[in-house]
Amino acid sequence: MAPEALTRTWTFLTAMASSTLWREGQAGDGREQELLQHVLKVAEKNPQSVMKTIDQYAQRSWLMNIGEDKGLILDQALTDRKPKAVLELGAYVGYSAVRISSQLDQPGATVISLEMSADNSNITRQVVAHAGLSDKVQVVEGILKDKVEEITRLLHELDAKTFDFVFLDHDKNFYLSDFLILKEHGLVGKGTVVFADNMKIPGSPLYREYVLKTNADDFDTVEHKTRFEYLRWLPDSVIISTCK
Ligand SMILES: C[S@@+](CC[C@H](N)C(=O)[O-])C[C@H]1O[C@@H](n2cnc3c(N)ncnc32)[C@H](O)[C@@H]1O
């Protein structure tokens, strides 16, 4: 293995072993803050340069962004749906918020990005601002059950009743329960596309069972087999479900 790939693998393993990753959304060694400083220093102030800078940084210090390979599947899903109202659960350092919002071309189109960590919310706001996309991304700090009213208000401000596109990329144990909260509050409906990342690693068995088995008739679902972010030797998949 090349030295960079070894370092990347090592930083992946140390992140996975870190007690703070799952609790606080950060790897525990300051890499997310360092990434922010790196973006502010070297990236040009446009989305492509910001994403490229983050992808390059993640080649040596692994980050849990959707990354380049799965990012292309996300891009295609956005092209197919052309959403105006997007909800993202899990912002981390803002990579996917930049990736998604840079492709929204409808007037007023917005990504509402929910992030539990205050530090990650701050990093995301700065990364998004550097990419010149602050008018298309609203970062909400917290978890869904506490933020449903705020998210509903923001959605209604977009003149929409339901989200066109939901990107699930937060705690995999919450994919199903948070989807059910959205459903219960009428925030998803016919035509909503739900894109679920990391359906193989680490996986979300309850969500998988729901969309592919117990409630399969409620959705048109496609699973794309792909590669894990920045570690191509690991298999992963994404599940894209359109609500009927
Ligand atoms: C995989 S990362 C998101 C990566 C990002 N979507 C991207 O592709 O660039 C997961 C993020 O979800 C956040 N998170 C974890 N559980 C959450 C929850 N219940 N609600 C909101 N955010 C959560 C973590 O703090 C972390 O920043």
Which residues have any ligand 1 atom within 6 Å of their CB?
25, 64-66, 89-92, 95-96, 114-117, 120, 143, 169-171, 174
pLDDT for the residue numbered 19 = 82
192: DSSP letter: -
Nearest-atom number in ligand 1 for the CA of 88 is: 6
What is the residue-averaged pLDDT of the chain? 97
Q: Which of 70, 197, 200, 236 is catalytic?
A: 197
Active site residue 80: no
Nearest CA to ligand 1 atom 27: 92
Mean pLDDT of all residues in 124-139: 98
Task: Give residue-wise pLDDT tens across range 53-100.
Answer: 999 999 999 999 999 999 999 999 999 999 999 999 999 999 999 999
Mean pLDDT of all residues in 160-183: 98
pLDDT at 1 over 80: no
pLDDT for the residue numbered 22 = 84
Nearest-atom number in ligand 1 for the CA of 171 is: 16
Nearest CA to ligand 1 atom 25: 25
The confidence band for 192, taking pLDDT boundaries of 50, 70 and 90, is: very high
Task: Give residue-wise pLDDT tens across range 9-35.
Answer: 999 999 999 888 988 999 999 999 999
The Cβ of residue 30 has, within 10 Å, a number of other Cβ atoms equal to 10
pLDDT for the residue numbered 145 = 98
Domains and CATH numbers, the chain: 64-243 (3.40.50.150)
The confidence band for 228, taking pLDDT boundaries of 50, 70 and 90, is: very high
Q: Which of 88, 115, 141, 169 is catalytic?
A: 169
Q: Which of 120, 141, 164, 198 is catalytic?
A: 198
Q: Which of 84, 136, 172, 200 is catalytic?
A: 172
pLDDT for the residue numbered 169 = 98
Share of the chain above pLDDT 70, in %: 100
As to burial, measured by CB atoms within 10 angstroms (0-12 exposed, 13-18 middle, 19+ buried), residue 33 is middle
Contact yes or no for 38/57 (Cβ under 8 A) = yes
Residue of 170, 177, 200, 207 to test ligand 1 pocket, by largest number of atoms within 8 Å of CB: 170
Mean pLDDT of all residues in 124-137: 98
Distances (CA, A) of 27 to 5, 14, 84, 124, 130: 18, 8, 33, 16, 23
Rounded (10°) angle between helices 47-60 and 118-130? 130
Nearest-atom number in ligand 1 for the CA of 229 is: 8
Q: How far is the CA of 115 from the centre of ligand 1 (A)?
A: 6
